[in-house]
Amino acid sequence: MARVQAAGGGVMTTEPTRVGADPHLEIVRPVPPPARRVCAECVQLGTPWVHLRQCLTCGQVGCCDSSPMRHARAHATTGHFIVRSIEPGESWRWCYADEQFV
């Protein structure tokens, strides 16, 4: 079991997903760490964010589902479904298409 920080500060446990179990893992590319730890769309709109996620296909950084604008999820509609948390101490990936950790 994996323990991850949940929205609101709680901790939840999840069953680890087998590598290769999610067909969307094929779109993961090597992306460098973000140059800036901000949601550029939130900065442009002047809206706050809670946590940040990085697309593992193109490297774009967006705000999480706990944020008002949910830019990371909106970016997933481009077909870039897999993100990673870029929050300190977190090392998980999420597939928006299948709504599961990968």
Per-residue pLDDT at 15: 44
Cβ burial of 83 (10 Å; 0-12, 13-18, 19+) is buried
State how far the Cα of 60 lies from the Cα of 75, in Å rounded to an integer.
8
State how far the Cα of 72 lies from the Cα of 64, in Å rounded to an integer.
6
The proportion of the chain whose per-residue pLDDT surpasses 70, expressed as a percent, equals: 80
In this prediction, residue 22 has a pLDDT band, given cuts at 50, 70 and 90, of confident
- For all residues of the chain together, what is the average pLDDT? 86
pLDDT at 45 exceeding the cut of 90 = yes
C-alpha angle with apex 94: 35 to 55, nearest 5 degrees? 30
Per-residue pLDDT at 10: 41
pTM of the shown model: 0.79
Strands 82-85 and 52-55: antiparallel
